[in-house]
Amino acid sequence: GDSVTQMEGPVTLSEEAFLTINCTYTATGYPSLFWYVQYPGEGLQLLLKATKADDKGSNKGFEATYRKETTSFHLEKGSVQVSDSAVYFCALKALGGGADGLTFGKGTHLIIQP
Amino acid sequence: EAEVAQSPRYKITEKSQAVAFWCDPISGHATLYWYRQILGQGPELLVQFQDESVVDDSQLPKDRFSAERLKGVDSTLKIQPAELGDSAMYLCASSFTGGNSPLHFGNGTRLTVT
């Protein structure tokens, strides 16, 4: 079945550091890919998405590129802020058929220190 | 911006009792999902509705869990009887129909079974 693997956390960085959170996936066909962010005690918020190979999703300074050849969708940000501290989830959505719920990775807890 | 509404926000119940959660999706979203998120893990799909019909309930523990969306709008998830292992965050999400459509999540119901 479909699966998503993302780097284990917590990831601790200093403010203004460069961020990479790795995500790889296994799926049949060509799924849509998403990054969601979850702040403490809240639901998940969509951060960015990409729907086909070589697409780049971007939002709030975060970017991720859909790499079909490496089945990856790594999240990057050039300069992180304390307010970016949260849990980040990589997810895929299979195309075709009625059942198209998101398959999530286990999440990466990001801690940004001032 | 329209939001997915969930209630209650928190619920504490004793094991063997019945408990119910309610979700009102974003207007116009035909697809509705219930997820369970155990602390420190990614959300796992319990059930997916397309309008009032169940599309996928393969991971729903049907001996104790039930879900309905009678008029194709709001939805209820019930657990009877609750067990200690059911303690988790229960998240509702909705989306437009289609593989590229992102899911929009509510803030969830935090269930504690004592």
For residue A17, which amino acid is it?
A: A
Contacts of A37 in chain B (CB under 8 A): none
Of A4, A41, A100, the CB nearest to B99: A100
Asked if pLDDT for residue A81 goes beyond 80, the answer is yes
Counting residues of chain A whose pLDDT is more than 90, the rounded percentage is 79
State whether A49 and B42 contact (CB < 8 Å). no
Give the DSSP H or E segment for B89.
Answer: strand B88-95
Residue A96 confidence class, pLDDT cut points 50, 70, 90:
low
Distance, in Å, from the CA atom of B23 to the CA atom of B74, rounded to the nearest integer, reads 6
pLDDT at A98: 66
Q: Is B62 exposed, middle or buried (0-12, 13-18, 19+ CB in 10 A)?
A: exposed
Residues of A in contact with B50 (CB under 8 A): 98
Residue B113 · residue B86 · CB < 8 Å? yes
Q: Please answer whether residues B17 and B39 qualify as being in contact, where contact means their C-beta atoms are separated by less than 8 angstroms.
A: no
Tokens standing for residue B40: 């420190």
Whether B45 and B35 have beta carbons less than 8 Å apart is answered as: yes
